[in-house]
Amino acid sequence: MRVYAISLEKGGTGKSSVAVNLAVAFQQRGQRVLLIDLDAQGHASRWLGVNPRATQPDESILGVIRGRPLGEGAIATAEGVAVIPAHPEMAGLPVALASAPNNGLFALRSAVAQMEKRGALFDIVVCDLPPARSPILATALAAATRCVAPVQAEDLVLHALADLSESVSYAQQVNPELPDVSVLRNRYAPRSAVDMVYDEELRTRYRSQLLQTIIPLRAAIRESAGFQQSVFRYPGADAGEVRSLFRQLADELLALDGGRS
């Protein structure tokens, strides 16, 4: 089973949009997909039509930490992707992890392993993470088969990417099969002089880790969130281009991880 952690230790880079649309792209490639919303703000949950305030705390990752089998009770969506939603009580998730065995470091990893033993319900798990270095990030990276970092052309983003790379390096001590962070250029304007400068810096620092797919800044991504739809359901004028790019991203990741189970 592949577990993708969509993360960056800074907000505003489009993690939820990548998590949601990538999850649906995987589903359209014939994969059974579970999206876990690990951010108490619940953006990914709402994007897929699930209101976190209308759910129970144990339907979120809090239930998994308390022993509920991963995937049990996951909410089906119109997009064909199952969701373990966020819940407002997840604001206390770091405390819940701290009280779990090993500070909750292996909570998600153990839940994934148990689901595989029972007969995996899903082929791919996509985790949407909060924009911070925290026990939540450590728990997700301990279970992840790949960490994808959406970045855009900002100096603070490059600093956050360096911090995430460090977090992944630490995680590799307990999860040695986790590769170095994969860098996804998101909300990009390739013809912008500023974006070109930052792109060159990314190529210098992270050349072997840069994903080939680039997700541009497009209205359809922002607008689809308001309609609680992925770009695959949203009929916006530029949605077709974005759909094609997310399918390309899914194909690129499946090719990279073809040897992983």
Structural domains of the chain, with CATH: 2-256 (3.40.50.300)
Cα-to-chain-centroid distance, residue 219: 21
Phi, psi of 128 (to 5 degrees): -95, 115
- The SS3 call for residue 77 is coil
Residues in the chain: 261
Q: Considering all CA atoms of the chain, what is the largest pairwise distance in Å, rounded to the nearest integer? A: 52
pLDDT at 253 over 50: yes
- Residues of the chain with pLDDT > 70, as a percent, come to 98
Cα separation, 226 vs 178, in Å, equals 34
pTM greater than 0.85: yes
Which tokens is 235 given? 């009929």
pLDDT tens, 178-200?
A: 999 999 999 988 778 888 888 89
- The single residue listed with the structure tokens 């880079």 is 13
Q: 166 near 43, Cβ under 8 Å?
A: no
pLDDT at 50 over 90: yes
Q: What is the mean pLDDT of residues 235-257?
A: 95
**pLDDT of res. 189:** 82
Closest by CA position to 71, among listed 153, 1, 167, 160:
1
Cα separation, 44 vs 26, in Å, equals 16
Q: What is the mean pLDDT of residues 201-215?
A: 94
**pLDDT of res. 9:** 83
Cα separation, 31 vs 80, in Å, equals 10
Residues 6+ apart with CB under 8 A from 106: 139, 142, 143, 174
* Mean per-residue pLDDT of the chain: 92
Q: What is the mean pLDDT of residues 114-137?
A: 91
Q: What is the mean pLDDT of residues 85-99?
A: 90
Cα separation, 50 vs 48, in Å, equals 6
pLDDT at 261 over 80: no
Cα separation, 21 vs 80, in Å, equals 12
Q: What is the mean pLDDT of residues 85-90?
A: 94
Judged by average pLDDT, the poorest of 79-88, 121-130, 151-160 is: 151-160
CB atoms within 10 A of CB 65: 19
CB atoms within 10 A of CB 221: 25
- Residues of the chain with pLDDT > 90, as a percent, come to 76
- The SS3 call for residue 109 is helix
Q: 180 near 205, Cβ under 8 Å?
A: no
